[in-house]
Amino acid sequence: MVQLDGLSFSYPDGRKALDNISLTIREGEKVALVGPNGAGKSTLLLHLNGILRGHGEIKVMGMPIGDGNLGLIRSQVGLVFQHPDDQLFSPTVFEDVAFGPLHMDLDEGEVRRRVAWALAQVGMEGFEERMPHHLSLGEKKRIAIATVLAMQPAILALDEPSGELDPRSRRALIRLLELLPQTLLVATHDMRLVDELATRTVVLDGGRIVADGPTTDILGNVTLLDRHGLEPP
């Protein structure tokens, strides 16, 4: 599904964010990407749909990312940003969820169907005419996911989906993510979410992959977690 081969990336100020990352994610896998602050998790996610372009090869569904297929790649890799205020940029919820489908050149009927479907998926029916700044953080996070689901991507990449949420909203969000059929890559610090959701965990530190294996093995290895600033759930 996603294949990274020797991916490296440095920010313009010279700071190395990703260092020779190789990673393969198979269809239907739910993978957690964990690591301390500044480990490069968000930077890695931004490479999956070609927002950032580092050195090395990235293949999505067998296609190497290039200038010619960015539109196609972006419709297949749904990126959910950490702060919903960045993701929800339209005056109303409807316009925001319709943004992706409209830019995929779908016809009006299909756009409306997709918006209704995506909002139903995240349990936010009836919020179409609401304005984002009047919503709670939990509601915003769900709608941010809907904006991407409306594009019906094959892969979902989420950055800190449970961050700053109260326990109830967090629980509802984990249940939602469990039910989604997409291949999932979740960057997070929330080790309980990792435990419940992910079958496989990748530990990133200093821009390198330092561990990759079944979640139970990784979370059971307290020394490893401790060494990379993480703690078991």
Partner 1 sequence: MSHIQVLDLYQDEDSLIHRQDPRVKLVITLAVIVAVTALPRGAWVSYLSCLLYVAVVGALSRVQPKLILKRSLVAIPFALAALTLIFTIDGTPLASLRLGDWSLSVTSEGTVAFVSILIKSWLSVMAATLLVTTTTFPSLVAATRWLRVPKVIVSVISFMYRYIFVIADEALRLFRAREARSANPGGKPAGSIRWRARVLGGMIGSLFIRSYERSERIYAAMLSRGFDGEVRTLRIQELGPLDALTIGAFFVFLAAVLVLS
CB nearer partner 1, residue 112 or residue 171: 112
Cα–Cα distance between 18 and 35 in angstroms, integer? 13
Per-residue x/- track, 85-104, partner 1 (CB under 8 A): xxxxxxxx--x--xxx-xxx
Cα–Cα distance between 46 and 187 in angstroms, integer? 11
10 burial type by CB count under 10 A (0-12 exposed, 13-18 middle, 19+ buried):
middle
Q: How would DSSP label each residue in 144-203?
A: HHHHHHTT--SEEEEESTTTT--HHHHHHHHHHHHH--SEEEEEES-HHHHHHH-SEEEE
Closest separation between CB of residue 2 and partner 1, Å?
Answer: 15
Q: Is 110 in the site for partner 1 (CB under 8 A)?
A: no
Pick one of 131, 213, 222, 231: the residue that binds partner 1 (CB under 8 A).
Answer: 131
Q: How many residues bind partner 1 (CB under 8 A)?
A: 35
Closest separation between CB of residue 215 and partner 1, Å?
Answer: 27
Cα–Cα distance between 76 and 62 in angstroms, integer? 12
Q: Is 15 in the site for partner 1 (CB under 8 A)?
A: no
Q: Is 71 in the site for partner 1 (CB under 8 A)?
A: yes
Cα 68 to its chain centre, rounded Å, is 23
| List of residues contacting partner 1 (CB under 8 A) | 46, 49, 51, 71, 74-75, 78-79, 81, 83, 85-92, 95, 98-100, 102-104, 108, 111-112, 129, 131-133, 147-148, 151
